[in-house]
Amino acid sequence: MEDLSTHSHKRALRISIDLAALKANLEVARTLAGGQKLFAVVKADAYGHGAVRVAQALDRADGFAVVTLQEALELRAASITQPILVLQGARAQSECEAFIKHALWPVIHCQEQLVWFENLLDKNELQAWLKLDTGMGRLGFQPEQARAVLANNSGLKWAGVMTHFASADEPERVQTQQQIELFHALTKGLSLPKSLANSAGVIAWPSSRADWARPGIMLYGSNPIAGTEHGEPALQAVMRVSAPLISIKDYKAGDSIGYAAGYVCSGAMSVGYVGIGYGDGLPRVLNNSASVYCNGKMCSVLGRVSMDSIAIDLSLVSEVQMGDEVVLWGPEHPVDILANAANTISYELMTSIRGPRDYI
């Protein structure tokens, strides 16, 4: 008799990761980057795709970018040898030695970190990047601070200088060009590698080209500026999320669906229930524009998302049975459809979904 306890932790959804699509997207980024080296951004477990497997697949990347020391050490433990840029740098002085020991490139974005690294006896071995806040309003030295740091012979040997864009995904705004101009003014005369462009910068801002670009979301097939004149690079979806139909029921006009009678049937209809919900990381706040894909048809999501299921309209699906696959997002159903219905962005859906991954 099968031991059912071994299956108790499993959920119904399936997450498939297409490594060939991932590699193809890297080459699209390389073409658009116009000769820049590429830090492939694999923070947040490679946007939910699995950092180690993604980094191993992207062996043609010039380097990788993560947020924390722990993320970087995970890559080093998996024998990833390319440069690794740690975007938040050290979070405590006790972490600083590890950057040298494991040949990691810390970003230094504040005075406290600067002091920590200056106190290292072997700081000449450090490959530190200085981060300038040119308008993001987040991490980085403010312009006047940056001028003082760059003018000060502190004993640190800078490996590069970088900044981050606040609104590059909105090409009609002038802020990005202002940030580019301020960055160049602050770094004028410095013979150091420079990095400005994120995915949106790579796609829409040729003036942001420098020595290194940092493509992130575009590697995973999502376009941060889709729908604009710049938004048509040939990116391929890398993540495919699906779950089975676990029930099919027929309803009549006036019947209600789900919690708080969130949907009321306007006529006779067939409704399917899919084995995925907010317990798997699906947003609970989907509005009535949300849809999924079943047997070649777009199907509207009906009513509220439950912890373990969603209801969908099967009226347009001619042949359907329990166990049929329903795609939440993937090549046949872009992730942005659900992201827009949740008033969020594809990044959040990809990093929130939980479950075992299959790599194809």
Q: Which residues are within 8 A (CB) of 225 and not within 5 positions of it... i.e. 6 or more apart?
A: 168, 169, 170, 171, 200, 203, 204, 231
3-state secondary structure of 270: strand
3-state secondary structure of 39: strand
pLDDT of 7 higher than 50? no
Domains of the chain by start residue, with CATH:
19-220 (3.20.20.10), 239-359 (2.40.37.10)
Kindly state the DSSP code that residue 333 receives in the 8-state scheme. Answer: B
296/327 Cα distance (integer angstroms): 10
Dihedral sign for Cα atoms in the order 55, 60, 65, 70:
positive
What pTM was computed for the model? Answer: 0.94
In which band, very low, low, confident or very high, does the pLDDT at 157 lie, cut at 50, 70 and 90?
confident
Query: How many Å is the Cα radius of gyration of the chain?
Result: 24
How much is the pLDDT for 4?
Answer: 47
Dihedral sign for Cα atoms in the order 116, 120, 123, 125:
negative
265/188 Cα distance (integer angstroms): 65
Average pLDDT of the residues in 254-265: 95
How much is the pLDDT for 63?
Answer: 98
Rounded to the nearest 10 degrees, what angle do helices 175-186 and 143-151 cross at? Answer: 20
HEC profile for 282-341? CCCCCCCCCEEEECCEEEEEECCCCCCCEEEECCCCCCCCCCCEEEEEECCECHHHHHHH
pLDDT of 131 higher than 90? yes
The DSSP bridge partners found for residue 158 are: 128
Question: Do the Cβ atoms of 132 and 140 come closer than 8 Å?
Answer: yes
Spatial CA neighbour of 23 closest among 49, 48, 4: 49
Considering the candidates 23, 188, 259, 347, report the single residue annotated as catalytic. 259
260/199 Cα distance (integer angstroms): 41
How much is the pLDDT for 5?
Answer: 44
Give catalytic status of residue 259 as yes or no: yes
- Amino acid letter, residue 119: N
pLDDT by residue (tens digit) across 110-124? 999 999 999 987 888
Average pLDDT of the residues in 70-76: 98
pLDDT by residue (tens digit) across 215-257? 999 999 999 987 666 667 899 999 999 999 999 999 999 999 9
Q: Which residues are within 8 A (CB) of 136 and not within 5 positions of it... i.e. 6 or more apart?
A: 163, 164, 165, 166, 179
Spatial CA neighbour of 274 closest among 295, 250, 253, 305: 305
Give catalytic status of residue 43 as yes or no: yes
The DSSP bridge partners found for residue 243 are: 326
How much is the pLDDT for 230?
Answer: 66
Q: Which residues are within 8 A (CB) of 360 and not within 5 positions of it... i.e. 6 or more apart?
A: 16, 17, 18, 19, 20
pLDDT by residue (tens digit) across 314-339? 999 989 999 999 999 999 999 999 99
pLDDT by residue (tens digit) across 30-42? 999 999 999 999 9
* Average pLDDT across the chain, whole number: 94
How much is the pLDDT for 231?
Answer: 63
Place of tokens 């890559």: 75
Considering the candidates 10, 23, 43, 188, report the single residue annotated as catalytic. 43
The DSSP bridge partners found for residue 213 are: 38
